[in-house]
Structure 1
Amino acid sequence: MSVELNHTIVWSSDKNHSARFVADILGLPEPGSFGRFRVLELANGASLDFADREGPIARQHYAFLVSDEEFDAIFARIKEKGIRFWADPGQEQPGQINHRFGGRGVYFEGPDGHNLEALTAPYSEAEA
């Protein structure tokens, strides 16, 4: 049996706003609906299921593997919207991107403080 991630819930103070924000930045179609969720379908069949939650939202990390062309478009939208970005998950290298594993990567925050990442080279291909 092969194991694949099918979906994950993204807790949000406003699921509609959060789902649209991520879709817009990543250049994806408008999120759909399923029950109480706003669903953002990804190319590999997994989905982000945005759900409203009252009170504090625990910050999570979501990384998106993209092509070089997609990275250029995503990074342009981040800069156009004035979204703060970093080269690292600890936010110690502001205003920079990284070049890990022969690719490029950038971290930025979503509406509820989730740490979002776009990267062009998967870490799984990195040498140990």
Structure 2
Amino acid sequence: MSVLNHQIVWARDAETSARFLADMLGFEPPVKLGHFVMVQVSPDITFDFMTTDRDITAQHYAFLVSEEEFDVIIGRVRECALEYWADPKHQDASNINRLDDGRGVYFNDPSGHELEIITRPYGSGGLDAEHVNPLLMEELAASGKLPDLS
């Protein structure tokens, strides 16, 4: 069985970006190894930040967190006066989404990568959720399996 081991994350300043991720999400402090600054994001996976002068294509990294962790993280985001959004298109500023009857929010790291924290996996609320994930509705509609709600 294959297991993801690490993800290289390009950054303007590897140390700054690694420290930002660790501080915001409550991970252990980054560890420098050669030209990488590594953050352990799960028992098996590190984000290995690497400084570059090349153009950086912003990536999206989503983290599933507990309700308690969400409260702490969104508190840090607000304390740092960072912009945050309820949606990935950054149109619903300073709000939190309630998809799947959980909570979710998006904010950017110093190099422009989008970080997302969610308390429920996408689609996990099913059709019985008060706040049904629109992706689930789109998938059901496309497959012709959308239930008759009348």
TM range (shorter): over 0.9
Task: Give me the TM-score of the superposition, normalised by structure 1.
Answer: 0.92
Give the number of aligned pairs.
127
1:60 matched to 2:59? The reply is yes
Aligned twin of 2:85: 86
SS in 1 for 2:48: strand
What letter corresponds to residue 96 of structure 2 in structure 1?
I
Aligned twin of 2:15: 16
SS in 1 for 2:78: helix
SS in 2 for 1:85: coil
Identity %: 45
Q: Once superposed, what is the RMSD of the aligned Cα atoms? A: 1.4
Structure 2 distance, partners of 1:18, 1:25, is 10
* Aligned-residue offset at 1:4: 3.0
What letter corresponds to residue 103 of structure 1 in structure 2?
G
Structure 1 distance, partners of 2:72, 2:99, is 19
SS in 2 for 1:86: coil
Q: Which runs of 5+ in 1 are unaligned?
A: none
* Aligned-residue offset at 1:102: 1.8
Structure 2 distance, partners of 1:113, 1:9, is 15
Structure 2 distance, partners of 1:100, 1:39, is 31
What letter corresponds to residue 117 of structure 2 in structure 1?
A
SS in 2 for 1:69: helix
Compare CA radii of gyration and give the structure with the larger one: 2
Structure 2 distance, partners of 1:4, 1:123, is 22
Aligned twin of 1:118: 117
Structure with larger RCO (C-alpha < 8 A, sep 6+): 1
